[in-house]
Amino acid sequence: MKIIINNSNVNPATLTYAELKKLVPSTEGQKLPTAKRLKETGEILFSVQDGATLITIYQNGFFAFTQPDETAKLRTTVFAVDRASRIVYKCGCSKEEYDDGWEFGSCKVGYKMEKGGMVRLHIVPEAEFANAHWTFPISHICEERLMHNGDSREQSHIEFNLDDESWDSALVEPDFVETRMKEEEDEERRRWEHDTLEAAKATLTDVQRRTIDLYYGYGGMTEASVAELLGTSQQNVHKNLAAAIRKMKKVFEKTGC
């Protein structure tokens, strides 16, 4: 590892990921800047060259990762130190193939399933690499980002030449890792909410469940319309709705929904 710039009081060659996180602020709630914007406004903490890879850590918590592709063109992705807290690999195998192919001993990894029983994402949490060299998670994550963009979003690459610093032509690189994980988390949340709703409805009587479905479904019926459809009085519909809501609320409160 060759240290190009070092404005810190630490040695980047021996720094762990956990130690690096303590040196920079959180970027929570901030959008990833473009490489051009980061270079123009960011103060460099340190910059290192590891083989053909150049990594520049900025004092604001963001960093630029530059690496040549198979055609020797330089590609850059911008990311944040604190967001490199899990390594995500895209998979496409069954759970059985996944279990057979991934052997990590005591390494506690996770995964995300998709419909059909296929493993979609392989996830390594921070606890498994916090004390490893800081380049370990950053290199894995950024190489995955560049590979993904090279396969599916060529127009999103940031291409520039370090010698002539043609940053003006740089484009915004999509934060595909966060987007992908956000989609997975949203889908997981929807499934949980659906399961919680079904569990709450399971506590109702048949009349209460049908009353709830009619009143809140089908574009939203009035109590009078529900009463007419069920052949009962509006007063009974109102009582059944109130009783059903009380029961379902208890379930929601227990689950934190």
- Least confident range from 110-124, 195-209, 242-256: namely 110-124
- Least confident range from 9-13, 63-67, 181-185, 187-191: namely 181-185
Residues in the chain: 257
pLDDT of residue 167: 37
Domain residue ranges of the chain, discontinuous segments joined by +? 2-87+120-174, 202-255
Arithmetic mean of pLDDT, 83-98: 66
- Which residues have CB under 8 Å from 81's CB, separation 6+? 20, 21, 24, 27, 57, 61, 62, 63, 138
Across the chain, the runs of DSSP E, i.e. the strands, are: 2-6, 44-50, 53-58, 62-68, 74-80, 86-94, 110-114, 118-125, 158-159
pLDDT per position as a tens digit, 68-78: 887 888 888 99
Q: Which residue from 80, 51, 60, 83 is spatially nearest to 7, judged by alpha carbons?
A: 60
pLDDT per position as a tens digit, 162-181: 444 443 333 334 455 556 55
- C-alpha pair distances (Å), 58 with each of 7, 23, 45, 151, 251: 10, 10, 5, 28, 47
Q: Which residue from 108, 124, 137, 128 is spatially nearest to 21, judged by alpha carbons?
A: 137
Can you tell me which residue has the tokens 């291409």? 159
pLDDT at 116 over 50: yes
Determine the Cα angle at 18 with ends 13 and 23, to 5°: 75
- DSSP-based three-state secondary structure for 24: coil
Q: How many secondary structure helices (H) and strands (E) does the chain include? A: 8, 9
Greatest mean pLDDT among 67-76, 97-106, 107-116 lies in 67-76
pLDDT of residue 193: 83
Q: pTM for the whole thing?
A: 0.53
Determine the Cα angle at 13 with ends 10 and 17, to 5°: 75
**Does the domain made of 202-255 have the CATH classification 1.10.10?**
yes
As given in the structure block, the two tokens for residue 135 are: 């380049």
Determine the Cα angle at 17 with ends 16 and 18, to 5°: 90
Q: Which residue from 31, 37, 56, 46 is spatially nearest to 138, judged by alpha carbons?
A: 56
d(CA 39, CA 51): 22
